[in-house]
Structure 1
Amino acid sequence: MPLSRQDFRKQIRHIRNQLSDRQQVQAGQTLVQQFSSIREIEHCQRIAVYLSADGEIDTNPLIEWLWQQGRSVYLPVLHPFSKGHLLFLHYTPDTPMVHNKYGILEPKLNQTLIAPVNSLDLICTPLVGFDSQGHRLGMGGGYYDRTLESWFKTGLGPAPLGLAHDCQHVEQLPTESWDVPLPKIVTPSKIWQWES
């Protein structure tokens, strides 16, 4: 019997969480090298990233690198009134942080720091798993599918870029009609690219 999306989530999260601290640090640093080699990044000034949780690839080195490059970094915040949606807030080393309902750190809501999604140049998305066709398996909340819906339908707005460990790749994932395949996913060893 083929694995369900839930089975894949459980299996890949387990593998990801088995990585040692040393492997995580190494993966985060190597990710920056791959990321910095992407040509389109040169023109991106306003970049949404996320803070790693649950064994996700360490994004701290990437955030530090973006700051060093003089780029503006934005982090996702759960929308307080629109269930299942995200806001993106400008993030600096001094930004006050709070834990959201999932226990993930996010910037304390401050309306003056919100960037409309269409003002961003790139949205780095977390994922649990991805397959050889660019399909992304998230945690199941649909937050990024909703955020990227307009881009997926029109091709307008910030492009998504998946970030992952190499061990999160599987040959084929079961997909749903609302899934948004990603045009590009960066892992420490490779830049996976598909026609968007």
Structure 2
Amino acid sequence: MNDTAVFSISGDKVALRRELRRRRRILSLDQQKQAAAALCQRLKQLPEIRRAKRISLYLPVNGEIDPTHLIPWLRQRKVSIYLPVLRPFSTNRLWFVAYHESTPMVKNRFGIAEPCSRFAAERRNRMPAWALDTLIVPLVGFDKQANRMGMGGGFYDRSLAFMRYQGPAPTLIGVAHACQQVATLPVEPWDIPLDVVVSDTMVIRPIKTG
């Protein structure tokens, strides 16, 4: 049975998030590795990646597809790499902090590794989101129109709210396992749309209207 075709989101979003997270968690280690390799090969072909000089990506947890295979290739191309960091004293917002082999790391309250607060607090180690060329962001779910479902905390939506207005802005690339695709997802007023979704099997760009 094709889960992608039959699982739409007319029902409970909490239940759908739970199901999609289960799908990725039950992938075997070999399946995870193969998916990560296939994802990164697709990412390397994107013009938004090939021309970028400042990229934010993430360190995967709980079965998220792994974009870090891209790091050696990015380093070779002299691309500056940043990671999202929970912004202190600000509800559900992110900083984007430089990531090097020597960057001191800690685990945040969600158990995700990120540059430590002392390192992140230094302005020279941070890049405003609008000044990044490309953000690679994890998805819980996506559909054929490149609509997205995140974790539900609104971290990226709040941190990228400036993109609703004219001005400099990064390209947003959502990434996920192919098994996280569903038939349709609703678009909420606060959602920041993606420019492209990439999985281990496909690249999806939203259809432009108007």
CA deviations over 1:74-98 (Å, ceiling 9, x no partner) = 0000001211110011001111100
- What SS does structure 2 have at the residue aligned with 1:154? coil
Question: Over the residues paired in the alignment, what is the CA RMSD in angstroms?
Answer: 1.6
Structure 1 counterpart of 2:4: none
Structure 2 counterpart of 1:81: 89
The runs of 5 or more residues in structure 2 that have no matched partner are: 1-8
- What SS does structure 1 have at the residue aligned with 2:106? strand
Larger deviation: 148-157 or 182-191?
148-157
Structure 2 counterpart of 1:21: 29
Distance verdict in 2 for CA 1:40–1:53, change over 3 Å = same
Larger-Rg structure: 2
Quick check: 1:34–1:186 contact (8 Å CA) kept in 2?
A: yes
Provide the rounded CA distance (Å) in 1 between the counterparts of 2:196 and 2:49: 12
Structure 2 counterpart of 1:167: 179
TM-score (norm 2): 0.88
Quick check: 1:32–1:65 contact (8 Å CA) kept in 2?
A: no
Identity of aligned residues (%): 42
Determine which structure has the larger strand proportion and give its number: 1
Task: Figure out how many residues of one structure are paired with residues of the other and give that number.
Answer: 196
TM-score (norm 1): 0.94
Q: Which runs of 4+ in 1 moved over 6 A?
A: none
Quick check: 2:129–2:160 contact (8 Å CA) kept in 1?
A: no
Structure 2 counterpart of 1:69: 77
Q: How does 1:25-174 map to 2 (within 5 A)?
A: 25-109=33-117, 110=119, 111=122, 112-154=124-166, 156-174=168-186
CA deviations over 1:58-116 (Å, ceiling 9, x no partner) = 12202232123221110000001211110011001111100001111001122131111
Provide the rounded CA distance (Å) in 2 between the counterparts of 1:182 and 1:101: 26
